[in-house]
Chains A and B, each alone.
Chain A
Amino acid sequence: MKILIADDSRVMRQIVTRTLRQAGFGDHDLVEAADGQQAADLAVSEKPDLVISDWNMPEMTGIDVLRKLRAAGNDVKFGFVTSECTPEMQQAAEAAGSAFFIVKPFTAERFDEVFSPILG
């Protein structure tokens, strides 16, 4: 499977990658986006099976990326890994069609719990 990791922090993209590996999902193809616009573009051009996105990013927020994709009829599995976790954000994410919401800091166990049903 192909996974798109969208986060403006290079460090966090590396940590997400490492945590995926620790959780046993190291064999998938990984693509990275460094801002929201790039995430929206790569979600179309790379045709990933899963998008793991930060919320707060330059150019376009993660929720706007998701809404843009859904508005264009793209139903890629999409969810958030973010330090922000207010109920209104979780509701907005769900309403926009988000499949998961992981709060930073996270552990490999949390990744396993969320991604096992998705990645098998």
Chain B
Amino acid sequence: MSVETVVKEGDLAEMVEQVWVSYLDPEGISPLITTGDENQPTEVHSSVSITGSWHGHLVYASSTQAAKRAAAAFLAMEPEEVGQEDISDVLGELANIVGGNVKAMLPAGCFLSLPTVVMAPQTASYFPAAERISGLYGVWDGESVSISMWQSSSDLQKGEAA
């Protein structure tokens, strides 16, 4: 099954908007502006894996500066006060929140992993057995942020064969 039929880019945008309204931009002055540029550079990323009736990953990626700002907003601190552990925790939580919301839209019987955080660009690891199937790419105060979904290649092949 293609997840695009279940979780569309507009759904991702709605979830992400809720995160911005609740935590990152409660006053509504600095929203995430989508650019659609899937090749924009990022410096850090976090992910959660989804297994069960659907297999893949939800990946949150951003510039280091955007991660620092997110941590500052989450923790009600100034960006210069934010430490590495704060950034790591917040990145993990961002993937967890969006991943949890995504999971709710997938077929029943999915499981969500704990988040993994990598202080390196998304391109540094990823995902040998999965393909990016959709994503939301944008800038937040001029800094790159993306949220993308990756689906297991074998699931995709099964979908094509069906």
Contacts and interface: CB of A to CB of B under 8 A. Distances in A.
Nearest to A84: B100
22 contacts: A8-B114, A9-B96, A11-B86, A11-B93, A12-B93, A18-B76, A56-B96, A56-B112, A56-B114, A83-B97, A83-B100, A83-B112, A84-B100, A84-B103, A85-B100, A86-B104, A86-B108, A86-B110, A103-B100, A104-B97, A105-B18, A105-B21
Interface string B96-129: 1111110110001010101000000000000000
Interface in B1-51: 18-19, 21-23
Interface of B: 18-19, 21-23, 71, 74-76, 86, 89-90, 92-93, 96-101, 103-104, 108, 110, 112, 114
- Main secondary structure on B side of the interface with A: helix
A86 B104 CA distance: 5
A88 to B, nearest CB: 6
Contacts of A14: 74-75
Nearest to A14: B75
A105 B23 contact: yes
B19 A105 contact: yes
Pick the most buried of B18, B74, B100, B114: most chain A CB atoms within 10 A of its CB.
Answer: B100
Given A11-B86, A83-B96, A83-B97, A107 B22 contact: yes
B22 A106 contact: yes
Given A9-B92, A56-B114, 20 more contacts: A9-B89, A9-B93, A9-B96, A11-B71, A11-B74, A11-B89, A12-B93, A56-B100, A58-B114, A84-B100, A84-B103, A84-B104, A84-B112, A85-B100, A85-B101, A86-B103, A86-B108, A104-B100, A105-B21, A105-B23
Interface string A7-50: 01111101100100000000000000000000000000000000
Contacts of B21: 105
Which A-B residue pairs are the 9 nearest by beta carbons? Answer: A83-B100, A105-B22, A84-B100, A11-B89, A83-B97, A85-B104, A104-B97, A9-B93, A86-B104
A83 B101 contact: yes
A16 to B, nearest CB: 11
Nearest to B110: A86
Pick the most buried of A58, A85, A87, A104: most chain B CB atoms within 10 A of its CB.
Answer: A104
A82 interface: yes
A10 B108 contact: no
A18 B19 CA distance: 16
